[in-house]
A = this chain, B = another copy of it.
């Protein structure tokens, strides 16, 4: 009886550990495709981070379904090179499993996504598609 109890509790412990282990870690990103939407800084241009974070990005994320692994948002602070202007005000990034699935999912919503730009910015973004090496 004691052995049975021991065994079932060890199974329980292992199942908790493997559940907790399912969280995304840095290494899990390797091989994923990133779509980085980068908003260049320019004097007098605007970027409404609150709208971007609570409305725009969740809307686009919802179009991407299970192909979307996660998305991130960052706020530009400074250039890393002294006396250089800030390169980007903000960057939004979608981490997806498949670029073609991303393109297929976004295509029917392209006009909706673009029309929403005016609600938070007046600059045109630069968009980089890249692959996570590490």
Contacts and interface: CB of A to CB of B under 8 A. Distances in A.
Majority secondary structure, A binding face: mixed
Interface centre among A79, A81, A128, A134 (most CB of B within 10 A): A128
Contact of A130 (B75, B81, B99): B75
Size band of the A side of the interface? Answer: 35 or more
Interface in A13-42: 13-14, 16-21, 23-26, 29, 33-38
A118 interface: no
Interface of A: 2, 5-6, 9-10, 12-14, 16-21, 23-26, 29, 33-38, 49, 53, 57, 70-81, 84, 86-88, 91, 99, 126-134
